[in-house]
Amino acid sequence: MRLDRFLANLPSYNRQQVRLMLAQRRVRVDGQATSDPLTEVREFSRVELDQQLLQAGRPARYLMLHKPAGCVSATQDPQHRTVLDLLPAALRGDLHIAGRLDFNTTGLMILTNDGQWSRRLTQPATKLPKHYLVETEDEIGEHYVAKFREGFYFAFEDLTTQPARLDILGPRQARLTIVEGRYHQVKRMFGHFDNKVVGLHRERMGAIHLDPGLAPGAFRELTADEIATV
């Protein structure tokens, strides 16, 4: 929300008072005095007027988790362990998952309480590349590469997937880069060749790489540089 609207929505101030207090630089957002009415106020922002605290804000959390197999990408599940169950209870709070993974898919998962940031990370319009290491039951042919680049028609959604990059690493192993996150997309792509995916591991989302020192089930806070890439 714009700062002027935030202030005008408070019961104590009218629009004229808001314009005046901004002109006098009496308002601080996250510790910085500002006169700009367009300054963005988010749920994490600390807003002060003189010595009065108008909004305390709350800490924004951005976690990288190495998701193990056999774990549900959900905040709660009556039958299975969830990714939130891997975190200390004190950290779970209002976290949500930015980019889910299937039950047996492993690798990079991001959890945050910043909905605006996570939308930038996951919405299709950003075309943020996601990198996966894929293992298959049968050999991967060189002819796969052109088909992945061309796209696959998914009849259920009545759409053709965006161009993807497939780098063959071995007879049954490849690195796949996609910019979408359709339902079981990777398995369905390889299913076009009747080739079953037996291992799937997400290595990277955009510029955020899974920390090689992070064991399955372990997590860490994202760095400021990692957060800023989204």
Q: Amino acid letter at 93?
A: G
Beta pairing class for 106-112 and 197-205:
parallel
Q: How does DSSP assign 24-61, residue by residue?
A: TT-EEETTEEE--TT-B--TT--EEETTEEEE------
Distances (CA, A) of 23 to 4, 38, 55: 11, 13, 20
> Could you give the residue numbers annotated as active site?
102
Q: How far apart are CA 97 and CA 114, in angstroms?
A: 10
Q: In this structure, is the dihedral angle defined by the CA atoms of residues 192, 194, 200 and 203, taken in order, positive or negative?
A: negative
Residue in 27, 31, 30, 62 with CA at minimum distance from that of residue 43 = 30
- Cβ atoms within 10 A of the Cβ of 142, count? 8
Beta pairing class for 32-34 and 96-98:
unpaired
Residue in 79, 96, 98 with CA at minimum distance from that of residue 87 = 96
Q: Report residue 217 as tokens.
A: 């089930």
